[in-house]
Homo-oligomer: A and B are copies of this chain.
């Protein structure tokens, strides 16, 4: 996974994968009939774990829905976005066109549960009178877009780039969530 995340599918050489796995190149092809199958296996293995955990916790959150939204976005970043694992998401967006099966799997097992969670939070706010009767479907994207954006940004520039005045992710998420909540609050 590390190598695919670092370099993408095409630029990752089987030889290096084998080396990092501590086996010979031949052995790799003994277990995976092709580089494509290896890639699929890598993605399948490394996806969908943390999402489920997050959902369970969110359902028992005690505070206001605005606080919940902010907490959830920050938590997602801390547990997933900021880790190497989020490279899988970047990978998926980059390579989805070449691996339709993977894309569909990813959509079903990662994106949709995540969207459902966001929907749950937004609906909770509306139901409790904290938010206006906003357009939930579109707001889901307003919540997810900056997270995806951060992930792409994090993984698009390699280990290079000393001059990177990079984004402060948590600060940005807090700021964005604040904007959203202000835009959603009831009474305006």
One of A41-49, A69-77, A154-162 contacting the partner = A154-162
Main SS at interface, chain A: helix
Interface pair B179/A142, CB less than 8 Å apart? yes
Q: Which residues of chain A in 156-188 are interfacial with respect to chain B, using CB atoms and an 8 Å cutoff?
A: 156-158, 160-161, 167, 171-172, 175-176, 178-184, 188
Q: In the bound complex, how far is the Cα of B167 from the Cα of A145, in angstroms?
A: 12
Whether A29 is near chain B, meaning CB under 8 Å from some CB there, is: no
Name A176's contact: one of B10, B11, B142, B188 (CB within 8 Å): B142
Interface pair B172/A141, CB less than 8 Å apart? yes
Whether A7 is near chain B, meaning CB under 8 Å from some CB there, is: yes
B residues in contact with A139, CB < 8 Å: 175, 179
Of A97, A152, A161, most buried by chain B (CB within 10 Å of CB) is: A97
Size of the chain A interface, CB-CB below 8 angstroms: 47
In the complex formed, the residue of B with least CB distance to A144 is B149
Whether A52 is near chain B, meaning CB under 8 Å from some CB there, is: no
Q: In the bound complex, how far is the Cα of B120 from the Cα of A38, in angstroms?
A: 47
Q: Give me the 9 closest cross-chain CB pairs, A-B, nearest first.
A: A97-B158, A179-B183, A145-B149, A94-B94, A182-B183, A183-B183, A138-B175, A145-B146, A96-B156
